C-alpha cells in the first residue's frame, strides 16, 4: 500500500526555511502540505493557461481588493468620457477640484492600507488598470517622482481630470508638483518630495 502511494508521488526539493513556512501556514489553515502544494501548483498552471503567471494573478487580485475597498467601480471609457464631457461643460473648475479631492482621499487610503513605502509601486499598476491606460510609469529617484501616462484616444477633458486626480494623490503623499507637460492622452508630471 505504501509502495503504491510512493510510486504515484514525486518529491520536490525546496529550501528548509521555505518548507517550514509552508508547514506553519498549512497547520494554521488546517490542510495538509500535499493538498496545499497541489492546489497552489494547479492554480499556477491555470494562470499560465490564461496567458498570465501566478505573480501577475496575485498582483491583480491585490489591486482589485484594494480598489474594491476604496469603493471603485468599473465603467467603460466611452460612457465615462461622455458623462465627463457633459459635466465638464457645466462647471469644469469644480469638477477638477472634485477629482483632486478624490485623488487626495485615495492617496490617504493607500497610505493607510498599504503603508507609505508601498504606495508608488502600487500606484503605477493601479493607474494603468483603473484609468484603462496604454502605458503608466511612476518612478522615484531620490526626492523626485516622475509620472508618465499614455492613453491613445483619451480626450482633453478626460486627460485633465486624470492629471487633477494624480496631483491630488501626490499632494496627499507630501509631494509638490514641479513640472507638467500635458497633451490629450499624453501626461508627464514631476513631483518633488520633502526631506524626512
Q: What totals of helices (H) and strands (E) does the chain contain, helices first? A: 7, 4
C-alpha grid cell, residue 59:
498582483
Measured CA angle at 125 (ends 41, 146), to 5 deg: 140
Query: Which residue would you say has higher pLDDT here, 58 or 102?
Result: 102
Band of the pLDDT at 173, cuts 50, 70, 90?
very high
CA dist 75 to 67, 131, 158, Å?
14, 10, 14
Summary mean pLDDT of the chain: 85
pLDDT, mean of residues 133-152: 94
Q: According to the per-residue pLDDT averaged within each range, which of 20-24, 46-50, 166-170 is highest?
A: 166-170
pLDDT tens digit sequence for 59-111: 778 877 787 777 666 666 666 767 777 766 667 788 889 889 999 999 999 99
**Residues 6+ away with beta carbon under 8 Å from 55:** none
What is the model's pTM? 0.71
C-alpha cell at 30: 488546517
The whole-angstrom separation of Cα 64 and Cα 111 is 16
Q: What ranges in 30-116 are assigned the alpha helix state H?
A: 33-49, 54-69, 77-114
179-196 average pLDDT score: 88
**Contact, 166 vs 149, CB < 8 A?**
yes
Burial of 117 (0-12, 13-18, 19+ CB in 10 A): exposed
Residue 178 above 90 pLDDT? yes
Confidence of residue 167 (pLDDT cuts 50, 70, 90): very high
**For residue 44, what pLDDT is reported?**
85
CA dist 143 and 16 (Å) reads 40
Amino acid at each position: 500500500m505504501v509502495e503504491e502511494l510512493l510510486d504515484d508521488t514525486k518529491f520536490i526539493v525546496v529550501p528548509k526555511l521555505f518548507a517550514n513556512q509552508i508547514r506553519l501556514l498549512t497547520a494554521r489553515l488546517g490542510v495538509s502540505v500535499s493538498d496545499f502544494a497541489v492546489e497552489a501548483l494547479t492554480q499556477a498552471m491555470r494562470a499560465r493557461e490564461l496567458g498570465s503567471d501566478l505573480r501577475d494573478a496575485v498582483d491583480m487580485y491585490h489591486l482589485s481588493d484594494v480598489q474594491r475597498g476604496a469603493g471603485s467601480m468599473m465603467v467603460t471609457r466611452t460612457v465615462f468620457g461622455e458623462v465627463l464631457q457633459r459635466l465638464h461643460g457645466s462647471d469644469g473648475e469644480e469638477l477638477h477640484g472634485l477629482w483632486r479631492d478624490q485623488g487626495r482621499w485615495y492617496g490617504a487610503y493607500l497610505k493607510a492600507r498599504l503603508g507609505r513605502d508601498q504606495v508608488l509601486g502600487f500606484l503605477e499598476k493601479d493607474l494603468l488598470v483603473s484609468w484603462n491606460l496604454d502605458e503608466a510609469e511612476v518612478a522615484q529617484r531620490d526626492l523626485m517622482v516622475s509620472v508618465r501616462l499614455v492613453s491613445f484616444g483619451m480626450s482633453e477633458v478626460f486627460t485633465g481630470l486624470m492629471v487633477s486626480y494624480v496631483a491630488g494623490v501626490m499632494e496627499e503623499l507630501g509631494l509638490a508638483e514641479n513640472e507638467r507637460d500635458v497633451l490629450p492622452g499624453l501626461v508627464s508630471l514631476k513631483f518633488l518630495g520633502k526631506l524626512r
